[in-house]
Structure 1
Amino acid sequence: MTYLMFIYGTLKRGFPNHSPYMNRAEFVDVAKTCNAFPLKLHGGRYTPVMIDNRGKGHRVHGELFRVDTATLRELDRFEGVHETDGYRRQRLTVTDGRGNIRTVWGYLKSPVAVSDVKSRAMSIYDDTRYRPRSMLQPHDE
């Protein structure tokens, strides 16, 4: 079985987490959400987060990937889906690069799980300040 995923942050092509997590994924197209969402940076790692507050912020630009079940499980683990303050995998409606409307999976966080906001809402994640956990000092988290 495969799943169509909307990727908007560090898992996009050319960003730090793409290679370790998306190696088996198939790039499908560029896309943007049909609804506006706040996309912000937060925490000491400048992590991009799409906040589950539909109608606020901007239509978020990202990429569509087709992933297999094993990759989906790994992405869920990476995004902390089963953790209290982790992301939630939810259905989203996006418009792809050809103008087709698609229902896909994406990762959002509850507004109450987002603290230490470092940016205004943005439509495209292209910031380079993100730091993987392996680069952190003990006081950064």
Structure 2
Amino acid sequence: MADEIALELQAALIASIRGSSELTDFLAGRAYATLPPVDKLAFPFAQIGPIEPRPLYSDCSRSERVIFSIEVISGSAGEGQVEVSRGAGLLKDLLDGNPLDLATHRMVSINWKTQTYEHDALAKRHSMLVVFSSVIDE
């Protein structure tokens, strides 16, 4: 069940991000589960990070608590922190409290947990890792 949920969630996240007019304008459709070759990569973009399903035991149903992250990455030298912060805010507004439609499972809830900013001066990149938690029923 965990692998199925992870794949369904990944597909639903990409569809949701690409379906958001604000995020489409911001990312120009660059939301990835797997990154394209480096020479074809443009900034900013969002990448789905690890998806970690864990059993959630209940007498009523089989559920999983799923922790996942989405990373917003900017190559902007001057405004990178502002850019990734804006992208993180758009993701939070899109997903927090708004369960997604999954193909064969039911998302009960989705909640923003935290976000972390990082600047890699050598790679000239800024990133914001946005973490969510969700409950998904079988």
Of structures 1 and 2, the one scoring higher in RCO (CA 8 A, sep 6+) is 1
Taking structure 1 as the reference length, the TM-score comes to 0.33
Q: TM-score, normalised by structure 2?
A: 0.34
